[in-house]
Amino acid sequence: MRSLKKVFLILTLLFFIFGCAEKKESEVYNKTADYWYQNMIKALKRGNLEQADDYYTSLASEHMNSPLIKEALLILIEAHLDEEEYLLAQFYADEYIKRFGTAKNIRYAKYLKIKAKYNAFRYPDRDQKLLQETIHLAEKYLYRYPDSIYNPLVQTMLTRLYLSQYQLDRKIISLYKRLGKEKAAQIYEEKIKNSWLKDIKIETKESLFNFLFD
């Protein structure tokens, strides 16, 4: 019984110590921009993206005009892309474009945003809106920046998105026909008839979508 009490006392003490340490860490404020930036980098090296986000928030809140924010945003975009956290990558890309987008650097930031949306696309039957949004962004990018060094990458993504849209249209035709909605099916049949993709044949045992995105 005495041993159990001793163990309980030790656990209680440890809980108190770590609880205080965590509280102390969360209450840190009024530090230099370099402090928050360096701690963000350390958190990323440990693989703790959530903590890195918190350090960035402190940096941006306490030092709104710090030049380190610009670099921090780019680092966080790449980090969240690497961890397949695409919504957060898009969020930071939007922040970068809004705050630091210039004729010189906006092409890279917008490319990263397209990449984040493209990588987030996984289920064509459920993500039709995301598919159309990403196609629109990619088309707009190629139109506005015809000489961008990222165009080959954007063109590759756009072609794969077109193919996925084509596959989805074929599924919609099949569905409408099963439901007896011939007029609705004809609209999509006409769309496919006029598509430059109709003559493309890809021999694969997998679905076209998995072939393109896996």
**Cα angle at 207 between 204 and 210, to 5 degrees?**
100
Query: In the Cβ-directed half-sphere of 181, how many Cα atoms lie within 13 Å?
Result: 10
Mean pLDDT value across residues 44-66:
93
pLDDT at 126: 63
Contact assessment for residue 164 and residue 131, using Cβ atoms and an 8 Å cutoff: yes
* Helix extents (H) in the chain: 2-26, 33-45, 49-62, 68-82, 86-100, 106-120, 128-144, 151-178, 182-193, 208-213
Using alpha carbons, select from 96, 113, 118 the residue that is nearest to residue 105.
96
Domain 30-112: give its CATH architecture: Alpha Horseshoe (1.25)
With a pLDDT cut of 90, the percent of the chain lying above it is 47
pLDDT at 199: 57
pLDDT at 79: 94
pLDDT at 17: 43
pLDDT at 10: 42
pLDDT at 123: 62
Domain ranges of the chain: 30-112, 121-214
Q: Does the predicted model carry a pTM greater than 0.75?
A: no
With a pLDDT cut of 70, the percent of the chain lying above it is 76
Mean pLDDT value across residues 129-155:
93
Query: In the Cβ-directed half-sphere of 165, how many Cα atoms lie within 13 Å?
Result: 22
Residue 70, amino acid: K
pLDDT tens digits for range 79-112: 999 998 988 999 999 999 999 988 878 999 999 9
User: Looking up tokens 């969360």, which residue turns up?
Assistant: 26
Mean pLDDT value across residues 42-46:
95
Residue 147, CA distances (Å) to 33, 76, 107, 144 in order: 36, 26, 10, 9
